[in-house]
Structure 1
Amino acid sequence: MSPERAEQIAILALSWLGQNEELFPVFLGASGANADELREQAENPAFLAAVLDFLTMDDTWVVEFCDVHHLKYEEPLTARYALPGAEAVHWT
């Protein structure tokens, strides 16, 4: 997946989170961002990677997001790996 497509999916995820009354405050708390910063951060690939990190923490969220946007369930994680920071993942 291209970084551009990954960013598109992450922006969709950010928008989806912003419309979710339960998850949006959780995301803001986890990311340390505030609602005013989101527009400027939406162009930051590292922030978009954090959006996908958050989304992919829960399979239920992934399914709901993908169903709304007609994406394959593996696409958010594939997109995450196309953005900065994924190369530093260590499972030890």
Structure 2
Amino acid sequence: MSPDFASEIAFKAIGFIVGDDTLRDRFLALSGLSPDEIRANLAEVDFQASILDFLISNEPDLILFAEETGEKPENIVHAWRALGGGVGQEW
């Protein structure tokens, strides 16, 4: 998967998260970021990977995002990896 396409998926994920009060509040609490910091980091590949990591780490959220965007869950994981997610992790 190309990094550009992976970034497109990440941007959809950001919109999905901030558009849902529960997800947004959980992401803010877990990440420690403020809304301004989120906006400031949107173009950062590591940040985009962290957004996808947030969804991947909770299967119900991942499935809901996949259903709402029409993306297959495995494509979301591929996007996460294309953005550098999982590097250095053992599976």
- In 1, the alpha carbon distance for the partners of 2:48 and 2:67 equals 20
Tell me which residue corresponds to 2:22. Answer: 22
Percent same amino acid at aligned positions? 32
Shift of 1:18: 0.2
- In 2, the alpha carbon distance for the partners of 1:49 and 1:75 equals 13
Q: Is there any run of 5+ residues in structure 1 with no aligned partner, and where? A: none
Tell me the matched-pair count. Answer: 91
Shift of 1:78: 0.8
TM-score where L is the length of structure 2: 0.91
Q: Is there any run of 5+ residues in structure 2 with no aligned partner, and where? A: none
* Cα deviations by residue, 1:32-69 (Å, 9 ceiling, x for unpaired): 21111222211000011110111001111111101111
TM-score where L is the length of structure 1: 0.91
Shift of 1:79: 0.6
- Counterpart of 1:87 in 2: which secondary structure? coil
- In 1, the alpha carbon distance for the partners of 2:82 and 2:52 equals 11
- In 2, the alpha carbon distance for the partners of 1:32 and 1:84 equals 21
Tell me which residue corresponds to 1:62. Answer: 62
The structure with more helix, counted as a fraction of residues: 2
